[in-house]
Structure 1
């Protein structure tokens, strides 16, 4: 039976990742959960462009709806500037681009990707064109994401960027799709999972990531991912030995 193949690479767009999923006819895979990471994706699949909004919990990908696709995953806080849509309007949603943009503009971009011999490269070029036309994302929200990613507290982050708590919450909703506390939890969980993948024991990874202890990390895993650490990594090991590696972050075929 043919296997699906997932690949990703850093994009020329700062902070973004280009990923592809090759699903030959007849290939099958079990359902999988994609964990929240604060990112948004623009996905080309089946002649459509899908925007995957920021997830607040694990998103279940139905293998029956998964086909070959190409996508670009934007760093937290950058997609709303490029797409012209506040992130909170897309939280936990997958919508077609023509529901967000004027239909002629969305159709032109779809046709551009369809005609390209390499849809992933064409999608990346389109994102670079959007960035050139819109300018860089708000440096303040970039600073917020950077500080929270490095484990700074929400209070310290607000003070360092010069925002009050309400201002920070409002700006975070527009840029990331949720408030800074939830974003901090999501980034901390991703930090812990990255450390575990390097071989660190759960307890040490939990402390290094900023959790109080392993039990704290376990609770966050259940709340945000809907599973346990053991089950998550066991599923990942099974996929690594048999099928396509699990996509990181919010990448999905919608």
Structure 2
């Protein structure tokens, strides 16, 4: 049971909640984002930006609340370069120290209650609001996100080339690569590939044939899209687009 919505307090962020079925690992696709997570089993965690798909394994009935920060915003919230968290899931206490303990107590108090599914949506919304509040406060204390990260992510998400993006932000290739690793966890070419894959899969989920989705998002053809998805997601796009089996 997975649900997501736009965050109410942080522009561009996404709040998601889930209750694990225990049916097997869940494939989490790379998206250039950092997440602030709460798990009923593991507590508060930071999910760094993944280079390839992450297979998440949960215990049956484990509850999750996630705040997915837009690309380039996470470093200002967590106070670390994104590359230090790449492909990692770490306890928030390792990043924020004692502030994580206080946050954990507040979230636990908000989500505590009977285990019946009927009450979970309300409790998870209360927990998510606390995560948003804390992340927003940290972001303001840092002076907001790095404007460069916002500009680079927006241009690449719109399909601009890395060369055009570098020219627009007035940086040379090496400088853009260095700044991108700190902001996104990897260089701009990798981020561009990940964001393009997301656009193509979004079109396909909306009913656009894969061949057309490939051309509309800048792939040479459907075979090119399939190769890229296999490398980044670990499976072909048809596997990702197949409905889940009950």
TM-score by length of 1: 0.86
Paired position in structure 2 for 1:21: 18
Q: SS of the counterpart of 2:96?
A: coil
Separation in 2, partners of 1:93, 1:66 = 23
Structure 1 residue 30: Cα displacement: 2.7
Moved more, 180-189 or 106-115: 106-115
- Which of the numbers 224, 230, 240 marks the counterpart of 1:222? 230
**Alignment partner of 1:238 is 2:244:** yes
Separation in 1, partners of 2:57, 2:38 = 17
Q: SS of the counterpart of 2:145?
A: coil
Paired position in structure 2 for 1:30: 24
**Alignment partner of 1:164 is 2:162:** no
- Which of the numbers 89, 92, 95 marks the counterpart of 2:90? 95
What is the root-mean-square deviation of aligned Cα atoms in Å? 1.5
Paired position in structure 1 for 2:100: 106
Separation in 2, partners of 1:128, 1:166 = 31
Q: Which of 1 and 2 has higher RCO (CA within 8 Å, sep 6+)?
A: 1
Q: SS of the counterpart of 2:244?
A: helix
Structure 1 residue 66: Cα displacement: 7.1
Contact conserved, 2:22 with 2:61, CA < 8 A, in 1?
no
**Per-residue deviation, residues 75-98 of structure 1 (Å, max 9, x unmatched):** 001010111010000000000011
Structure 1 runs (4+) deviating above 4 angstroms are none
Paired position in structure 2 for 1:192: 200
Separation in 2, partners of 1:190, 1:213 = 16
Paired position in structure 2 for 1:67: 62
Paired position in structure 1 for 2:184: 176
Separation in 2, partners of 1:167, 1:74 = 24
Gap runs ≥5 in structure 2: 112-125
Separation in 1, partners of 2:23, 2:69 = 26
Paired position in structure 2 for 1:147: 155
Structure 1 residue 110: Cα displacement: 1.3
Q: SS of the counterpart of 1:64?
A: coil
Q: SS of the counterpart of 2:66?
A: strand
